[in-house]
């Protein structure tokens, strides 16, 4: 990180995944008052519009803006030889999603920060980048991309925690992560660095691994799901308890009753919510199934914990992902 003439730090940040979060973070980070942040962002479906006109940012919390990142690319191979202060990953967690980045020869001291949902998501990055600091970011925010390049943030909720995934006692890496958290915070997105990122990640999974999953499987929003039968609320609670049991078995201390209260209490009283996984299912997109469900039962099995509800939900949702991938072929074959 270099100091510029005005004494502001100059930072180069590469964001991998220019969708809802990637677009929003491009805007927020480049408006920071205590650093000159130059954003390079990898886009895919919205590449043409973002490279020509930038992101149109419409927010409840931060006003409306046009954000023109310094550089928009399609694939990390286009920036070979460039150096960055941070790499932030904001793709959906889907099989193979890490591969284009894994081919990118990154200097070994550059932190890779995964701001994504789910658990067990760091492993492919740790395997591809054995030397780099890897951090996890857990974000509470609601944002979408109603049309290519248009990022919409709605609702008031906006908080984030970031912490090192492993090797958390390295002082240089810790201070880099603290600096990034402070940068987000100064941009208006409340953000703190934490030494307990696994607690945060498993804690958020209490919501994503339960509500996202039951709503996606049934094509119902939260309130409609609850109204369907008295067993509905029981199923959500059982899943949350399985999440807590698995977390505890791998050394992540989470109190099951507290998790149930935190992840069910407000949702029972809230207006209907269409979780992101249900939004993906309704569009026929691949759902983040491994991150919310598959990795959980695999981790549970590896430590001898039974998670029958999570495993059953996984099996049902896997049929849906399979159908979204193969439906056209299947339809043709059946004619
Ligand atoms: N949106 C939200 O409110 C929240 C999201 N999260 C989590 O954050 C993560 C990101 O979510 P979100 O921003 O909503 O996801 P989006 O689908 O909106 O954005 C992901 C973006 O990454 C792009 N992408 C994927 N692979 C590549 C590639 N190889 N090269 C270039 N671009 C690529 C996608 O392109 P394409 O469109 O072509 O697929 C898409 O634009 C997820 O894990 C999600 O669960 C967490 C909290 C809140
Ligand atoms: C909790 C919520 C609604 C927002 O962060 C979410 O994570 C989701 O819909 O997947």
Q: For residue range 268-311, what is the model confidence (pLDDT) as tens digits? A: 999 999 999 999 999 999 999 999 999 999 999 999 999 999 99
26, pLDDT greater than 70: yes
Between CA 165 and CA 195 the distance in angstroms is: 9
Q: pLDDT band at 329, cuts 50/70/90? A: low
The percent of residues in the chain predicted with pLDDT above 70, rounded, is: 96
Nearest-CA residue for atom 5 of ligand 2: 140
Ligand 2 atom closest to the Cα of residue 142 is 4
221 touches ligand 2 (CB under 6 Å):
no
Q: Please check whether residues 210 and 185 belong to one and the same domain.
A: no
Print the domain residue range for 310.
199-326
pLDDT tens for each residue of 32-61: 888 999 999 999 999 999 999 999 999 999
- Look up the CATH number of the domain holding residue 31: 3.40.50.720
Same domain, yes or no: 307 and 291: yes
CA 18–ligand 1 middle distance (angstroms): 7
Residue 263 has pLDDT above 80, yes or no: yes
Give me the sign of the Cα torsion angle 129, 86, 78, 2. Answer: negative
The string of pLDDT tens digits covering residues 138-163 is: 999 999 999 999 999 998 899 999 99
CB atoms within 10 A of CB 291: 22
Ligand nearest to the CA of 273: 2
Q: Could you tell me if 266 and 204 lie in one domain?
A: yes
In the reported structure, the alpha carbon of residue 92 is separated from the centroid of ligand 1 by a whole-number distance in angstroms of 4
pLDDT in tens, 183-205: 999 999 999 999 999 999 999 99
Is 330's pLDDT higher than 80? no
Q: How confident is the model at residue 4 (pLDDT cuts 50, 70, 90)?
A: very low
Taking the centre of ligand 2 as the mean of its atom positions, its distance from the CA of residue 139, in whole angstroms, is: 9
What's the helix, strand, coil split of the chain in %, to 5?
50, 20, 30
Measured in Å, residue 227 CA sits from the centre of ligand 1 at 31
Residue nearest ligand 1's atom 14 by CA:
20
Contact of 137 with 180, CB cutoff 8 Å: no
**Does ligand 2 lie within 6 Å of residue 212's CB atom?**
yes
Write down which residue in 195, 228, 257 finishes a domain. Answer: 195
Q: For the chain, what is the domain count?
A: 2
Contact 109, 132 (CB under 8 A): yes
Over the stretch 208-232, which tens digit does the pLDDT of each residue have?
999 999 999 999 999 999 999 999 9
Minimum-distance ligand 1 atom for the alpha carbon of 75? 30
Binned at pLDDT 50, 70 and 90, residue 19 comes out as very high
Domain boundary (131, 165, 195) is at 195
Residues 87, 166 within the same domain: yes
* CA 144 to each of CA 16, 153, 154, 278: distance values in angstroms, whole numbers, following the listed order: 17, 7, 8, 13
- Ligand 2 mean position, distance from CA 303 (Å): 28
Percent of the chain with pLDDT over 90: 87
Contacts of 100 (CB under 8 A, 6+ apart): 16, 42, 75, 76, 77
pLDDT at residue number 81: 87
Which amino acid residue places its CA nearest to atom 7 of ligand 2? 208
CB 151 within 8 A of CB 20: yes
- Does residue 264 sit in the same domain as residue 163? no
Of the bound ligands, which one is closest to the alpha carbon of residue 14?
1
Rounded distance, CA 236 to CA 232, Å? 7
pLDDT at 229: 97
């Amino acid at each position: 990180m270099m100091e510029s003439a005005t004494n502001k730090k100059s930072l180069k940040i590469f964001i991998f995944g220019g969708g809802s979060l990637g677009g929003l973070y491009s805007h927020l980070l480049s408006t920071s008052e205590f650093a000159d942040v130059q954003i390079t962002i990898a886009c895919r479906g919205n590449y043409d519009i973002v490279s020509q006109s930038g992101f149109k940012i419409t927010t409840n919390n931060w006003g409306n803006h046009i954000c023109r990142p310094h550089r928009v690319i399609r694939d990390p191979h286009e920036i070979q030889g460039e150096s960055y202060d941070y790499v932030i990953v904001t793709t959906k967690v889907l099989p193979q999603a890490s591969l284009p980045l894994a081919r990118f020869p990154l200097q070994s001291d550059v932190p890779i920060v995964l701001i994504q949902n789910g658990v067990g998501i760091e492993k492919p990055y740790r395997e591809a980048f054995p030397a780099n600091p890897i951090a996890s970011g857990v974000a509470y925010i609601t944002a979408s991309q109603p049309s290519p390049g248009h990022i919409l943030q709605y609702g008031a909720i906006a908080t984030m925690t970031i912490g090192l995934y492993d090797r958390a006692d390295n002082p240089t890496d810790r201070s880099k992560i603290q600096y990034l958290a402070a940068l987000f915070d100064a941009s208006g997105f409340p953000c703190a660095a934490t030494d307990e990122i696994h607690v945060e990640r498993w804690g958020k999974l209490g919501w994503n691994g339960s509500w996202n999953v039951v709503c996606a499987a049934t094509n119902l929003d939260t309130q409609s799901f609850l109204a369907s039968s008295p067993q509905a609320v029981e199923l959500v609670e059982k899943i949350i308890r399985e999440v807590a049991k698995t977390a505890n078995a791998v050394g992540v201390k989470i109190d099951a009753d507290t998790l149930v209260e935190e992840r069910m209490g407000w949702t029972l009283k809230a207006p209907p919510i269409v979780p992101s996984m249900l939004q993906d299912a309704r569009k026929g997109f691949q759902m983040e199934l491994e991150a919310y469900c598959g990795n959980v039962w695999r981790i549970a099995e590896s430590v001898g914990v039974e998670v029958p509800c999570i495993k059953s939900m996984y099996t049902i949702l896997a049929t849906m992902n399979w159908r979204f991938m193969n439906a056209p072929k299947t339809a043709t074959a059946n004619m």
